[in-house]
Structure formats: structure tokens, C-alpha cells
Amino acid sequence: MELLDRYLESVRKHLPWQRQDDIVAELRANLESQLEEKEETLGRPLTQAEAEEWIKQLGAPIQVAAGYQPQQYLIGPSLFPTYRYVLKLACSWAMIIGSIVLVVQVFASQNPSASALFGALLSLPSVLITAAAWVTLIFAAIEYAVAQGHLKLPAMCAPSPGWTPSSLPPLGQNVAHGKKPRSLAQAIAEVVFGILFLGWLLLVPQHPWLLMGPGALYLNASPFQLADIWVPIYWCIVALNILQLGWNMQNLVRGTWQKPHPVFNLVLKAVGLIPAILLINAPNHAAFLLKHPAIDHARYGAALDTINLYILRSFQVIIALVVLQLAWDLWQLGRDAYRKREAAIV
Amino acid sequence: MTIAENLFENLRLELRRGCLTLAVLAQLRVERYGYTLRKALADDGLVIDESTLYPLLRRLEAQGLLASEWREEEKRNKRFYRLTPDGERIFAQLLGEWKAINASVTATLNSTTNAANNGAL
């Protein structure tokens, strides 16, 4: 039957080349026996329509041929748990080491700036992708070698070879903290100390010694003065404290002090970056200025530049660390939300 | 196909997969070629697609459970399969396992059905 020949030829194209003839010969023998029996039952050859219907029932050539392909995984079920564990480790370490290297590179450059730092942070995903690609490639090679019989599955990939119950890690701090609500006394103390802190903060402009102690006298006598950028920074800090105090008070009034709201804490941490960002973007990166530049520049100009540079770099490092911590908190928040949603579905 | 139908189909295929291997091994205690094997299984109520059965025979042969031989029968070359000694041993073990599972599931069904009936009363 020509249709059967065409069908088998199509199947052949998708078969492993070493076994094409053998498989097609067997399929042909089985299908011809089936056809013969059909025709004996009908007492006549199949019509074109009947033949097409029969061939169609056998399945698409590519699907039939796929059944003869060896089962192959990029990373199979035996290796996958180890692969996932190593992938997590590699990505975590790549993130940590990559962040450190990037921060060092930025500060070692000629002109470190906030935009250079953020640009460097944006290149972190490529570090993670590279680490993940290498781990995947190595595990795919192990899987292939094991499947081909060139390699026995490494002992570390066996299901937990050295596992004992006593070797289980202790409960994490997150679990313990997550179950322990904040006490009322703690919530009241936060509000009281918040009010006291705000009062102290508001008094600082008139009484700088409250902040700097004897340093206020030194600053007064020194040729240096605070740059104008400290005014918006100061009011920004005041606004942040009022925001936090207001939030703590409403938690106390509404009786919701037991569980701090994770999103608010995250927002507060993010907004807390504003004063530092204002400072590093100050005109000429100047946190301090000379009181009488025309007189003192020759003598104190170099010292002033050094002080301003150190302040700039310190705050750049602080911003980088807070951004990393924010990213980590955000990831944890997303993970917890996902877990809650999954638990609700189950 | 709805999600529920799709889920059922996946679970049904999963349930059938191991049973098919057992049935094929059981049939091949007597030598057969592909088509007669498929017919014998269908006669016993186990209909298997060609695209499932014939590759399964190849896999079982590669695993050393079946042996095959090309031979002419009724003027046509056919590939006949039968159990190897290893295949017979593993078949006996699998059969014991299947009977034990079957007995356990039956006992569980009986006990839970009785409990449900008593609860309804």
C-alpha cells in the first residue's frame, strides 16, 4: 500500500539513524499484519478514505518516532535536587562576591559617583546568569556522562548519604521571631522614645552641642562650616522621624503593634536613603565649606577636599549596603507572600 | 480538555504505565511478535496504541528483560519477542509486588467504604 509506504518513510526520517532500518522493518511487519486482518474481515481492500483513517489513527510520524528515542534529560530527576542546591549556593556566592568586586571597582575608579555605583549594581544580573549557566552546563555534562554510562552518579548526588536527624540545622531566627509578637510595653517605649528623639532633633539647630558635644565649639572656632545641603537633609530626617512616630502611634491606637508591617518597614528603609542621596549629590560633593574661602583656601583647601571626599565615599558605601539589604528584604517579602498564597491555595 | 480532565488523564496514564509493563511481560512468557501481542492484550481488555507498545518492547529488550529474533512466518519477516531468564525473574518479583499493592488498595477501599457507610448511618 502506497500510503503505508509513505507513512513509514516519514517515520524513518525522525528515527535514530543507527536503528532506522530495523525499526521500520518491524513496524512494517506489524502494520501489514494489521492491514491484512482488516481486509480479511471486510473481504475487500481498504478504500482510500478507510486507509487514511487507519493511518491517521496510528499517530503523526514524528510522535511515533519519538517513542523510539531514548529518554533523555538535560538534568534528570536523580541529579536535579543536587543541581538546585548547588545552583542556589553558586548564585548566592556570585551575588556576594560580585557585589564586593563591583563596589571595590567603583571606588577604585577615578570618578566614583552614585550613578556609577547604580550602573555597577545593574550589571549584577549578568553575574548571576553566568554563574547559573556554568552550574547548569556542568550538571548537564554529568547527566550526559551518567546516561552514556561513562560515569557513575557521584556519591554527593546520592539521596543524602550522610544524613542523620541530629545533623539537622537548628531553627532559624526568622522562625522564632516570626512567632513572637511585639509586646505592648515595647510598642509604648517606641512611641515615647520616638517623641523624645524628635524633640531632641528639633533642638539641634539652635543647640548644636546636643549633637556634637564639645565638637560644636571646635566647629565654631574652625575655618569650616556646614554646607547648605545639610538644611534639606535635616528636614528630611525630621520628616522621616515624624512619619515613623505617626505610624507607631497609629499602630498603638489601633491595637496592631504586635506584628510590624513588613511593607512599611521596607518603605521606611527605602525613604531613609533620601538624606544620604541628597548628601552625595551635593554641589561639588561638598558637605563642608570654608567660612572664608578667599583667606583660608591656600591653607585649608586640601584638608577640606580630603574631608569631603571621605564623607562622600563613606555615604556611597552606606547607600550600596542599604540597597543590597533592601533587595534582600524585598526578595524575602516576595518569598513569604508567595508561600502564603501557595498555602492558601492548598 | 478542562484542567480536571487533563489532571485525570495524566493520573490515568501514570496508573497505567506500570501495569502495561507488567501485562506485556506476562504475555511474553509465550513468544509473540508485536501485532499479535497487541491483539492478545486488547482481547484481555488492555488496549495499547502502536506508538506506545512497540517502543516499549524495544526498551524492555534494551533493559535485558526481553530477547528478540527475526523469523519468517506466513511469508513475512517478523520480530518475535520472549522473556529472558532475567525477565522471568523480574516479572515474578513485579507480579508479587502488584498483587501486594492490589490487596492493600482493595483492603483500604473496603475499610474506608465501610467507615463512610457507618458514618452515613
Domain boundaries, chain B: 3-120
Q: Does B21 contact A at CB distance below 8 Å?
A: no
Q: What is the pTM (predicted TM-score) of this model?
A: 0.55
Q: How many domains are there within chain A?
A: 3
Q: Does B52 contact A at CB distance below 8 Å?
A: yes
**Model ipTM value:** 0.79
Q: Does A33 contact B at CB distance below 8 Å?
A: yes
Inter-chain CB pairs, A–B, below 8 Å: 47
pLDDT of residue A157: 61
Q: What average pLDDT score do residues A289-297 get?
A: 85
Cα-based distances in Å from B26 to A26, B15, B82, B83: 21, 18, 10, 9
CATH architecture of B3-120: Orthogonal Bundle (1.10)
Domain that holds residue A289: 181-345
Q: Same structural domain for residues A194 and A318?
A: yes
Give B36's contacts in chain A (Cβ within 8 Å): 33
Cβ pair B58:A68 closer than 8 A: yes
Q: Same structural domain for residues A257 and A199?
A: yes
Q: Same structural domain for residues A125 and A52?
A: no
Binned at pLDDT 50, 70 and 90, residue A159 comes out as low
Report d(CA B71, CA A296) in Å as an integer. Answer: 108
pLDDT at B24 over 90: yes
Q: Same structural domain for residues A292 and A213?
A: yes
Q: Does B75 contact A at CB distance below 8 Å?
A: no
Phi-psi region of A255 (alpha: psi -120 to 50; beta: other; left: phi over 0): left
Residue of chain B whose alpha carbon sits nearest to that of A55: B50
pLDDT at A163 over 70: no
Q: Determine the 3-state secondary structure of A205 from DSSP.
A: coil
Q: Are A86 and A138 in contact (CB under 8 A)?
A: no
Q: What cell does A177 get?
A: 521571631
Q: Is residue A163 part of a domain?
A: no
Reference A245, options A197, A181, A203, A182; nearest CA is: A197
Q: Same structural domain for residues A218 and A86?
A: no
Q: Same structural domain for residues A336 and A267?
A: yes
Cβ pair A29:B34 closer than 8 A: yes
Give the residue from B41, B50, B61, B74 with the most A CB atoms within 10 Å of its CB, the best one to mutate.
B50
Residues A187-236 have pLDDT tens digits of 888 888 888 888 888 888 888 777 777 777 777 778 888 888 888 998 99
Q: Same structural domain for residues A262 and A220?
A: yes
pLDDT at B37 over 60: yes
Cβ pair B35:A25 closer than 8 A: no
Q: Is residue A262 part of a domain?
A: yes
Residues A9-58 have pLDDT tens digits of 999 999 988 889 999 999 999 999 999 988 999 899 888 899 999 999 88
Q: Same structural domain for residues A94 and A190?
A: no
pLDDT at B4 over 50: yes
